Copies of this chain bind each other. A is one copy, B any other.
């Protein structure tokens, strides 16, 4: 029988290995799976490549993972946010690599990775430093660059509500990168505010279908990054 629930965040992230590529959902704090990230810090995996739109803030969540020296490379569109000091320091010190990707190209590369599309053309970034060294081609009268699909070994996802088959719905703009990352990773690990009975999520309104989900942990009152940062907390 299919039941994707696991008891703890600790068990959910146990097999993330050194050198893994990990997609982490969220846009700023909205949809950021902080408890899963903290479990990953406890777990100890290192040399990670992390895909996220940003690079964390304060010294909690993703910023704490970076500060702990576990991330060797970030793939993101905007590693500069309010209260973001950890990444800039590590980057200037040459202790972390950065692959900067325009936000829409990042989203489309992840979507392509999940969809079995190895590469696609986009007009985004043509004529800019981010297109340098990439294959260019003209279709019609417009010039495009070739971009490649992006996949990961694991994704850490936050949602509002799940059932035990792994169907997920999100809260407002906390949806952001979470659904596409769930499609693009070999193992999708989800934290949800609550698990509901099968059928309680409207079949017409499921956002992430269970087929994309491997493990679900309930985190009833997830922490808010801004609250933790405001309180000056750091993890661990």
Number of interface residues of A (CB under 8 A): 25
A140 at the interface (CB under 8 A from B): yes
Q: Are B123 and A120 in contact (CB under 8 A)?
A: no
A44 at the interface (CB under 8 A from B): no
A117 at the interface (CB under 8 A from B): yes
Give the oligomeric copy count: 2
Instruction: Please judge, given known A-B contacts A169-B204, A205-B204, whether A108 and B115 are in contact too, CB under 8 Å.
Output: yes
A122 in complex: contacting residue of B116, B140, B202, CB < 8 Å: B116
A169 contacts across to B, CB distance below 8 A: 204
A108 contacts across to B, CB distance below 8 A: 115, 117
Quick one: which of A158-201 are within 8 Å of B by CB?
Answer: 169-170, 172
Among A115, A140, A170, max chain B CB count under 10 A is at A115
Give CA–CA (A21, B5) in the complex, Å: 48
A119 in complex: contacting residue of B116, B120, B172, CB < 8 Å: B120
A87 contacts across to B, CB distance below 8 A: none
Q: Are A123 and B112 in contact (CB under 8 A)?
A: no
A27 at the interface (CB under 8 A from B): no
Q: Are A144 and B120 in contact (CB under 8 A)?
A: no
A117 contacts across to B, CB distance below 8 A: 108, 120-122
25 A–B contact pairs at CB < 8 A?
A108-B115, A108-B117, A112-B120, A116-B122, A117-B120, A117-B121, A117-B122, A118-B121, A118-B139, A118-B140, A118-B142, A118-B144, A119-B120, A119-B121, A119-B139, A119-B144, A120-B120, A120-B121, A169-B204, A170-B204, A172-B204, A202-B205, A204-B205, A204-B207, A205-B205
